[in-house]
Amino acid sequence: MNPHAPAPAARLVTIDADQHGQRIDNFLARILKGVPKSHIYRVLRKGEVRVNKGRVKPEYRLQTGDQVRVPPVRVAERDAGRVPDDLCQRLEAAVLYEDGDVLVLDKPSGLAVHAGSGLRFGVIEALRQSRPQLSFLELVHRLDRETSGCLLLAKNRPALNALHDQLREGRMEKRYLALVAGHWQGGKRSVSAPLRKNTVRGGERMVAVDETGKEARTHFTLVQNLGDAALVEALIDTGRTHQIRVHAAHIGHPLAGDDKYGDEDFNRRMRARGLKRLFLHAQALAFQRPGGQGEIHVSAPLGDDLKQVLESLEQQQ
């Protein structure tokens, strides 16, 4: 792309009901795909973005009927964040369930759910690019970059609000499969330990069990003991950052392949069994249909790479 290509003209966008309540900075990031957030904040600060002909701050929440002036942005800037077509196609093939309100994706391991921290794009940017006809597409919850499995997105704001209500009220069921270190004693074990983010350890941001942190509850159930490892199911009542990983390590059973909270010797043994990633998979999701009757149940099969690790462990039994 020619970096000296002419910039497009400013345009006016009328906010509809699906965009009502969205922050102006997030709205601009949505329609100016690939433009760095720093540039978006700069044009807001300089007054190049106008809502109903007036200046607004980044935290301004849009109202139905607002007229937003979107300033010209160089074509080269927009294309810088373009997602490769093969990745878009891969994600489209990974859709597990979809209707007029929601989309559930089997997120691949190694792909972040959104851009940031040096990443030009993630799942949400790829799906927005491959579905330009959708005026609204937002993440309902998040998964760690290395975690695979069920990821829920909303296709309109009423659905997003309804699903966030379910999350807050504990009415959404999220089940994970994890391989942990050590022989698991007993069947079910519940962990209720508050978690605090941004604990710095060796210059790296971490999450730690801390009395001053936010409430977090995880319920672990044994699926199968596999020598010096165990396959467990984890059901979470809350969705804190790194919750399963930190709670598992807290009770002496760190996750396989976890380079933040795991055990180096155990991880080395699991690598010898073929494990090349964090063994954490969001295997099932259940939630109330937004604005309708009944529940939606979606499951994501365990990837072949993780199945092969389990088969290797079973053979040593």
Full pLDDT tens readout for the chain, 317 residues: 444 555 457 888 899 887 888 899 988 988 887 677 788 888 999 999 999 999 999 999 999 999 999 988 764 444 445 788 888 899 999 999 999 999 999 999 999 998 776 667 889 989 988 888 888 899 999 999 999 999 999 999 899 999 999 999 989 999 999 999 999 998 899 999 999 988 666 666 789 999 999 999 999 999 999 999 999 999 998 889 899 999 999 999 999 999 999 999 999 999 999 999 999 999 999 999 998 789 999 999 999 999 999 999 998 87
Architecture of the domain spanning 170-315:
2-Layer Sandwich (3.30)
Quote the CA–CA distance of 27 and 19 in Å, as a whole number. Answer: 8
Superfamily of the domain at 11-79: RNA-binding S4 domain (3.10.290.10)
Q: What is the pLDDT of residue 76?
A: 45
Domain regions of the chain by residue span: 11-79, 85-161, 170-315
Asked whether the domain spanning 170-315 has the same topology as the one spanning 85-161, the reply is yes
Question: Do 175 and 284 touch, CB atoms closer than 8 A?
Answer: yes
The residues annotated as belonging to the active site are 144
b/e per residue, 231-244, with b = 16+ CB within 10 A? Answer: bbbbbbbbebbbbb
Could you give the count of Cα atoms lying within 13 Å of 63 in the half-sphere of its Cβ?
A: 5
How far apart (Å, rounded) are the C-alpha atoms in residues 263 and 272?
Answer: 14
What is the rounded CA–CA span in Å between residue 151 and residue 135?
Answer: 20
Instruction: Give the pLDDT confidence score for residue 92 in this predicted structure.
Output: 94
The reported pLDDT for the residue numbered 75 is 45
**Rounded to whole angstroms, how far apart are CA atoms 122 and 87?**
10
Q: Say how far apart CA 218 and CA 257 lie, in whole Å.
A: 20
| Strand partners of residue 155 | none
Burial class of residue 97 in the structure, from the number of CB atoms within 10 Å of its CB (0-12 exposed, 13-18 middle, 19+ buried): middle
CATH architecture of 85-161: 2-Layer Sandwich (3.30)
Buried b / exposed e along 286-295 (16+ C-beta atoms within 10 A): bbbebeeeee
